[in-house]
């Protein structure tokens, strides 16, 4: 099912739009200076959409400040008090996220829908397994994917009743399987764009694994329009993880796709060290939005033969290696100069001036 296109500031999600990467500020909302610094780091790292907690009216100042310092759209994360949503819209926020588990009064939702309609601001119905509405929990007795879907559909119909259709949906749980089942079910029933995520996924290592399994499996099935990797860590790492996930699925706008062989007994050069150094070099911001397949192979079996699809690559030999383009050997290079020669050739191909 092709999802509806929704505009969030200067970013589109849904339909044929590229999948965007989101994150959230993790600084106390009253420390405006540090919030700006973190937001700018996230923007530089490739964050497309940034969410900000709005726990009180003092935090609204964050939105005003951030709007003058960054270009990426800002989402106000609203819980409990509907008036915070109204004030956030007045402050120039680009999207509102509401939790139906703690903002359920129809009159309040109607007011939020009205002001968002007037400003053409989308609303994300952010269903969270840990805060489902009491009536739904009472019906299902426990947290289930079906309960999460029912919450989302009820709130979609509520917004639609108030003539509001600028909607994004998320159904998050810390349970990967429940999350995947919930998203697959809702995908069959609606055409609003889906924000994918595993909530409270955990620390950097475990959180990545959970998110990659859950979000990755959905993306492979063509489900999802924007993602957030949730980690108990620096939010810049969330963005980098999100970009890496999209790159691995060939879903990231334009990017350097670096492949390397796992090495074996045939390998005669230090391919592990070469690959790590190459990864660090090609993650530099100057390679952002550049589209190229680069292969780093340990021997003549994997390269250039098995990696002939690569635009450019290197393959190891005995103290020497070869540089190849589109499967054809271009030159023989001493091992110690292999990486340097590869970078030079890549920069020439991409027209990058050092």
264 is in an annotated binding site: yes
**Locate tokens 């911001």: which residue?**
285
Residue whose entry in the numeric block shows the structure tokens 């965007």 = 20
CA neighbor of 197 nearest in space, from 220, 179, 223: 179
CA dihedral angle for residue 36, residue 255, residue 249, residue 18, rounded to 10 degrees: 60
Residue 190 has pLDDT above 80, yes or no: yes
pTM, rounded to two decimals = 0.90
Report the CATH superfamily, name and number, of domain 256-350.
Sulfite Reductase Hemoprotein, domain 1 (3.30.413.10)
In the chain, where the domains are located: 6-248, 256-350
Structure-block tokens of residue 353 = 């001036």
345 is in an annotated binding site: no
CA distance 225 to 194: 5
227-277 pLDDT, tens digit each = 999 999 999 999 999 999 999 998 987 778 899 988 888 888 888 999 999
Question: Over the stretch 138-177, which tens digit does the pLDDT of each residue have?
Answer: 999 999 999 999 999 999 999 999 999 999 999 999 999 9
Q: What is the CATH code of the structural domain delimited by 6-248?
A: 3.20.20.20
Average pLDDT of the residues of the chain? 94
Is residue 261 a contact partner of residue 297, using CB atoms and an 8 Å limit? yes
CA distance 338 to 261: 16
Q: How confident is the model at residue 1 (pLDDT cuts 50, 70, 90)?
A: low
Across residues 314-340, what is the average pLDDT?
89
pLDDT in tens, 35-92: 999 999 999 999 999 999 999 999 999 999 999 999 999 999 999 999 999 999 999 9
Q: What is the CA radius of gyration of the chain?
A: 23
Give the pLDDT confidence of 287-306 residue by residue, as tens digits: 877 888 999 998 877 777 77
- Residues 98-118 have pLDDT tens digits of 999 999 999 999 999 999 999
CB of 89 closer than 8 Å to CB of 62: no
What pLDDT is recorded for position 46? 93
Determine the 3-state secondary structure of 297 from DSSP.
strand
Instruction: Note the pLDDT of residue 354.
Output: 52
Strands 123-128 and 167-172: parallel
Q: Is 306 annotated as a binding residue?
A: yes
Q: Which of 301, 298, 303, 353 is nearest to 330 (CA)?
A: 303
Comparing 136 with 319, the larger pLDDT belongs to: 136
Question: Which contiguous run of DSSP H or E holds residue 308?
Answer: none
Write down the pLDDT at residue 301: 72
pLDDT of residue 353: 67
331 pairs with which residues across the strands? Answer: 323
Res. 316 pLDDT band, cuts 50 70 90: confident
């Amino acid at each position: 099912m092709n999802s509806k296109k929704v505009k969030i500031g200067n970013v589109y999600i849904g339909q044929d739009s590229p999948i965007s990467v989101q994150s959230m500020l993790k600084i106390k909302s009253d420390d405006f200076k540090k919030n700006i610094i973190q937001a700018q780091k996230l923007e530089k790292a490739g964050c497309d959409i940034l969410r900000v907690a709005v726990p009180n009216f003092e935090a609204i100042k964050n939105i005003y400040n951030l709007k003058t310092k960054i270009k990426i759209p800002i989402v106000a994360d609203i819980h409990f008090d509907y008036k915070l949503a109204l004030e956030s819209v007045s402050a120039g926020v680009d999207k509102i996220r509401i939790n139906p588990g703690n903002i359920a009064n129809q009159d309040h939702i109607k007011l939020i829908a009205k002001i968002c309609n007037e400003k053409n601001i989308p609303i994300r119905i952010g269903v969270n397994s840990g805060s489902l509405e009491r009536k739904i929990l009472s019906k299902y007795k426990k947290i289930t994917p079906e309960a999460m879907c029912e919450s989302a559909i009820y709130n979609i119909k509520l917004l639609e009743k108030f003539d509001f259709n600028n909607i994004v949906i998320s159904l998050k749980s810390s349970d990967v399987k429940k999350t995947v089942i919930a998203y697959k079910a809702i995908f069959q029933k609606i055409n609003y764009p889906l924000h994918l995520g595993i909530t409270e996924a955990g620390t950097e290592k475990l959180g990545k694994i959970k998110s990659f399994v859950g979000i990755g499996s959905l993306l492979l099935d063509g489900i999802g329009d924007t993602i957030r990797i949730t980690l108990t860590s620096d939010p810049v790492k969330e963005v980098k993880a999100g970009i890496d996930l999209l790159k691995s699925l060939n879903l990231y706008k334009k990017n350097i796709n670096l492949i390397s062989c796992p090495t074996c007994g045939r390998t005669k050069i230090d391919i592990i060290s070469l690959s790590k150094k190459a990864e660090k070099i090609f993650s530099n911001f100057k390679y952002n939005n550049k589209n190229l397949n680069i292969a780093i192979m340990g021997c003549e079996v994997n390269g250039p033969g098995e990696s002939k699809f690569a635009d450019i690559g290197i393959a190891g030999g005995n103290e020497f290696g070869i540089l190849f383009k589109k499967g054809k050997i271009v030159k023989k290079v001493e091992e110690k100069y292999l990486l340097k020669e590869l970078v030079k050739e890549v920069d020439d191909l991409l027209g990058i001036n050092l």
